[in-house]
Chain A
Amino acid sequence: MRHLLDFQGWTRPEVENLLDTARVMSEVLERPVKKVPALQGFTVATVFFEPSTRTRISFELAARRMSADVVSFAAQASSLQKGESYKDTLLTLEAMGIDAYVIRADSAGVPHQATRWVKGVVINGGDGRRAHPTQALLDAYTLLEALGTLEGKKIAIVGDILHSRVARSNVELLPLLGAEVWVAGPPTLLPQTLPGARLTPHLEEALAEADAVMVLRLQKERMEAGLIHLQDYIAHYQVTEERLRKTKPSAPLLHPGPMNRDIELEGTLADSERSLVNRQVRNGQAVRMAVLYHLLVGKER
């Protein structure tokens, strides 16, 4: 594994291997002293061209728990508009001896472009609508914890699919592990096709007999752009207690956060026993530790 950009070209054993390592890392996080020397001497840079809190902190903690040095770069979208160059930023960091770059950008493909500019390892921390691979890995990890296996399981992803990097990465990853993925959303927020997924504008169809449900955040700008009407969305796509009756009993509920309570899902559900939201955040650290470890030390791929 040279870089982690998306899951194009990945195999099931590679994913399973990575998730096995995440299990080991998860044990590290249970210890009183949550630190191992695995990445001593390595320097990890989080390069966030788009604001983020949880992903950046999760990666930085993951790196520190393995004794890596961490530097953090956050650019304002405004300075990018003025023409500040991603390439120059990355080349400056490169000159300082960075081993791994976690890159977040609002434009699809920036991590792919970065691999042409820097010698270090590139990890996609979320790029535009394209991919958010560590989110998908932590989702898969959390689902495996809850369901035991993903083989033959029906996973429903609900909400703004068109603009969602989380959806795209899950649609690439979960079928690799044997899952059947359905995505549901209003027609204006649904792509024409997504290889690996079954698309439907009918929420009920996606939820029917689902083994797990992943709810995505509805972004305000979609309403402002006239792509949806809020009340219509709530009436037809909000994930509610009532609608979850169509799923398998006690099918778990995931959400990559941050949540809009009472918009994409019924507020009380977020705190219910079905909700794995906090598990996801916790597992995120373990998964990111595993990714950093594999890319910097393991070098299997």
Chain B
Amino acid sequence: MLLIKNVKLVDALGERGPVDVLIGEGRILSLNGGKAETVMDGRGLYLAPGFVDLHAHLREPGQEVKEELSTGLLAAVRGGYTDIVSMPNTSPPVDTPEAVRALQKKAQALGLARLHPAAALTQAQEGKALTEAGLLKEAGASLLTDDGHTNEDAGVLAAGLLQASPFGLPVAVHAEDASLRRGGVMNDGPLADLLGLPGNPPEAEAARIARDLEVLRYAVRRGKKRPHLHIQHLSTKRGLELLREAKRAGLPVTAEATPHHLTLTEEALKSFDPLFKVAPPLRTQEDREALMEGLLDGTLDAIATDHAPHTQAEKERDLLRAPFGIPSLEVAFPLLYTELHLKRGFPLSRLVELFTDGPRKVLGLKPLHLEEGAEASLVLLDPKERPVDPKAFASKARYSPWAGWILGGWPVLTLVEGRAVHQALE
């Protein structure tokens, strides 16, 4: 039994407390205290439901030099995540039920965050032959996606949506027109022109979202069960407008935004530092503002990390050759707590919802609120500020574009079904 005294509660329903939370048998037993062997002082801290990440690259199997389940899932619980969707773009890609089971088995043995592997939509992520949606679902796949491979063939995407729909599997897409993006490494526009870097136009995202929404419309019309399209790491104002229209029209679509698109802009590329090279690229302040608006008005459903670890040496290459991606599992919540809630007054309850019920809904999981009887997969957050220190990351990627930023809202205790998987209380 664990008793957290005088702690404030925050979830999708709002902020309340302070209360004394009694936890046992993997559940919240009481919000009115009780007897426990372990008693914690929660004064000044927030208790929230455990975070769920829809989009993490854990690199296993095949690229363990960048990250592996043990380091990735430890990074996750240190970031307050109790549940993680791993992307299937591993080597080989996760495109069979056996591969999904193998990942889950290994993750369960580690006993950190719960893993919900995503599986490839097409075999070997080649965009041609579909994978076995039904068998993948039975094996435990949480969604289907070809992720960084951008589903050039609209017919295959349509078939994938139809195929996945009876099993309730969302199909997640990296919406970017590869032929319009060409070799772009940063946002296309005057700054890319000035810096002499090949641009990736915002229209490449909008064009693909527009196409994918039409593909979805087709799948809705043809299917007996409603398909579910999920748009990954939306980055542009125009893409958001298209999504908003589609949602208004009742299309079954959800979308996520990332911590980096919410806290950084293309201006960061002035340093010519590949730490800021990410796909889709960091956009303009106007796009960033639009994303925040989209989080507030419900156009965006979740904040997902797109945690994409690489080796330090790869990230120290030049901008044309360095790989895309930023590691962020350990800083995602503190970043947005500080930059959005503290600095811009973004409602804390909505922010927490975007880390919890938002992604849960995308995965078809029930909402998780802080009430008696609820599953004790929880995170305790400390508003006290401290600098980001990548050297202390559990992730193998020990660099960060936010190194040195002073952030509050650090997860100091993460519980999965009542079991402490991360403890950093002083």
Contacts and interface: CB of A to CB of B under 8 A. Distances in A.
Interface stretch (B126-134, B137-145, B318-326): B318-326
B271 interface: yes
Interface in B164-206: 189-190, 193-198
Contact of A107 (B273, B313, B314, B320): B320
B197 A128 contact: yes
Contacts of A1: none
Contacts of B198: 129
B316 A165 contact: no
A12 interface: no
Contacts of A107: 318-321
A87 to B, nearest CB: 5
Contacts, number: 64
A86 B322 CA distance: 11
B272 A112 contact: yes
A131 B196 contact: yes
B272 A80 contact: no
B317 interface: yes
Interface in A55-83: 80-81, 83
Contact of B194 (A81, A113, A195): A195
Interface in B275-326: 313-314, 316-321
B317 A85 contact: yes
Interface string A276-296: 000000000000000000000
Contact of A109 (B195, B313, B314, B316): B195
A110 B318 contact: yes
Contacts of A81: 321
B272 A108 contact: yes
A108 B190 contact: no
A105 B198 CA distance: 15
A53 interface: no
Contacts of A113: 272-273, 316, 318
Contact of B316 (A87, A105, A194): A87
Contacts of B190: 191-193
Interface residues of A, number: 27
A165 B193 CA distance: 11
Interface residues of B, number: 19
Nearest to B320: A107
Contacts of A87: 313, 316
Nearest to B188: A192
Contacts of A130: 195-197
A109 B193 contact: no
Contacts of A195: 194
Given A85-B313, A109-B272, A193 B193 contact: yes
A85 B197 CA distance: 20
Nearest to A87: B316
A181 to B, nearest CB: 14
Nearest to A112: B272
Interface in A103-136: 105-110, 112-113, 127-131
Interface string B318-344: 111100000000000000000000000
A107 B193 CA distance: 14
Contacts of B316: 85-87, 113
Nearest to A117: B316
Nearest to B272: A109
B193 A128 contact: no
A80 B193 contact: no
Nearest to B189: A192
Nearest to A85: B313
A154 interface: no
A256 to B, nearest CB: 15
Given A85-B313, A112-B272, A113-B272, A191 B321 contact: no
A131 B320 CA distance: 15
Contacts of B197: 108-109, 128-130
Contacts of B319: 107-109
Interface in A170-209: 191-195
A83 B65 CA distance: 15
14 contacts: A81-B321, A85-B316, A87-B313, A106-B320, A109-B197, A113-B318, A127-B196, A128-B196, A129-B198, A165-B196, A192-B189, A192-B190, A192-B193, A195-B194
Interface of B: 189-190, 193-198, 271-273, 313-314, 316-321
The 9 nearest A-B residue pairs measured at CB: A109-B272, A129-B196, A130-B196, A107-B318, A191-B193, A107-B320, A112-B272, A108-B196, A193-B190
